[in-house]
Copies of this chain bind each other. A is one copy, B any other.
Amino acid sequence: MLSTSTSAKSSNEAASKYLNLASINQRVVNMEYAVRGAIPIRAEQIQAELKSESANHPFNKIVFCNIGNPQQLEQKPLTFLRQVSSLIEYPDLLKEPMLSNTKKLFPEDAIKRAQETMEFVGSSIGAYTGSTGINKIRENVAKFIEKRDGFPSHADNIQLTNGASGAVERVLELLISDNSVGIMIPIPQYPLYTASLTRFGARAVPYYLKEDSNWGMDVSSLTEIVNKARSEGTNVKGLVVINPGNPTGGVLSEQNMNEIIQFCEQEKIVLLADEVYQANVYYPQEKPFHSFKKIASQLNSNVEMFSFHSISKGMIGECGRRGGYLEMHNISQPVRDIMYKMASVSLCSNVLGQVAIDIMVNPPKEGDASYEQFNSELSSIFDSLKARSKKLANAFNNQENMSCNKAEGSMYLFPQVKFSQKYLDFCKENNKSPDVEYSMRMLENTGVCVVPGSGFGQVPGTYHFRCTFLPPERDFDSFISTFGKFHINFMNEFRD
């Protein structure tokens, strides 16, 4: 994970320092986060090189498929969300003498919504809010969840956070009382989880997703895994599920979810449900999204759980705004008080992110001036994402020695590549990780930046990479053809 600028020179320089790799916190030294690791760092270097005339690369731009960052790849923001945000940034626009000109630029429902927002924000979006976020927005989140699930939700159980990352980190820190604690995580997983477990000093207790059943879960294996971990002295406290899956693109069946909830309740394990891709579900007839909160409520389960959602994904894609929320379900009041205190030390999450959450959970309604545009923007992004996911999965499946499950949800494909023995030997001799080397060569030859499967975990002896399907539709054909040429050349170079 260290940048390539850690040269011999800087190591010498470092030797004279009292703050050095040996004297700092080893948990953060050991933490790994491949989504922004060595390959993306190299991609950024190349991007800088491409600006100079002397650049010598066989492409003229980097395509960042390493990270679910839609607006970096030209996805347009939702107009209504931006109009409301723009107005609350400069509330003079909402009052005369400016208002008459404002009305020439903004639709009436955006103006009305901005006025209502300023009322419940109170003084100014430049003030700290309550530690867990603005009350009215937390109430609106609860209403959204009730409508989605058909079961009660309460603002007291909602915390607004800086992205879902901030929410996940808070809950893991709450759970991890010492280094005997284990958290069950899917393999492959989103590396925020492994990074945070290393950071907070806990043990990862992995369970494998089944690639041959479109990344479903084998819940029957969980009991064996937890028993084994416990027999080794691991205090298994939590189980993470990412649904829809990251990096897998899978959507869990209701049957799987029932079993997971019963398992967690029986084993007294806290369920962490990462549901940030809940709006990215491409086959809602065959594989609909259900929240774990809803399924737990249907089962009348006492499972203790936390769920996470975000404005960074879905069709909103407002990653840079850092807005997220968590819901606590069946969590006792004293523990919720501690969660409140944890939020309070960092004062509050950023207010513009909170307001974007409000628009996500309470969008324009039928009859509002922006209703049609809002929905047409949503569905055009949705349709395009689905089309791109199919096109890219097909392209991968048409390559020699590659196979790829379709994306039932999320923004990613996680294709498997079968490498020749010759290539594996080459990697062994040169002390290289096969999937990392493959991904690095892809970057150097095509400008496409993906993340090697080892950054997420994979069955030993299998090799994958994660690739978003977010590049603009018009770039897709050249993107696929460039990748195809690289892949066939690579296969030819290392043919047994």
A117 at the interface (CB under 8 A from B): no
Chain B residues near A196 (CB, 8 Å)? 345
**Is there an interface contact between A332 and B85, defined as CB atoms closer than 8 Å?**
no
- Contacting chain B: which of A3-11, A217-225, A373-381, A443-451? A3-11
**Is there an interface contact between A163 and B24, defined as CB atoms closer than 8 Å?**
no
**Is there an interface contact between B72 and A344, defined as CB atoms closer than 8 Å?**
no
Please, how many angstroms separate the alpha-carbon atoms of A5 and B36 in the complex? 42
- Contacting chain B: which of A120-128, A239-247, A415-423, A486-494? A120-128
**Is there an interface contact between B72 and A82, defined as CB atoms closer than 8 Å?**
no
Please, how many angstroms separate the alpha-carbon atoms of A69 and B351 in the complex? 14
Interface size of A in residues (CB-CB distance below 8 Å): 104
Known: A127-B320, A335-B20, A351-B320. A86 touches B82 (CB 8 A): no
* A122 in complex: contacting residue of B23, B28, B72, CB < 8 Å: B72
Please, how many angstroms separate the alpha-carbon atoms of A268 and B18 in the complex? 6
**Is there an interface contact between A165 and B345, defined as CB atoms closer than 8 Å?**
yes
- Contacting chain B: which of A53-61, A170-178, A293-301? A170-178
Please, how many angstroms separate the alpha-carbon atoms of A74 and B122 in the complex? 10
Chain B residues near A123 (CB, 8 Å)? 71-74
A171-215 vs B, CB cutoff 8 Å, 1 = contact: the mask equals: 001111100000000000000100110010000000000000000
Chain B residues near A2 (CB, 8 Å)? 334, 337-338
Please, how many angstroms separate the alpha-carbon atoms of A33 and B72 in the complex? 38
Interface residues of A in 20-44 (CB under 8 A from B): 20-21, 23-26, 28-29, 31, 33, 35-36, 44
Known: A124-B72, A334-B2, A350-B320. A31 touches B345 (CB 8 A): yes
A83 at the interface (CB under 8 A from B): yes
Please, how many angstroms separate the alpha-carbon atoms of A18 and B236 in the complex? 12
**Is there an interface contact between A335 and B36, defined as CB atoms closer than 8 Å?**
no
**Is there an interface contact between A346 and B165, defined as CB atoms closer than 8 Å?**
yes
**Is there an interface contact between A18 and B304, defined as CB atoms closer than 8 Å?**
yes
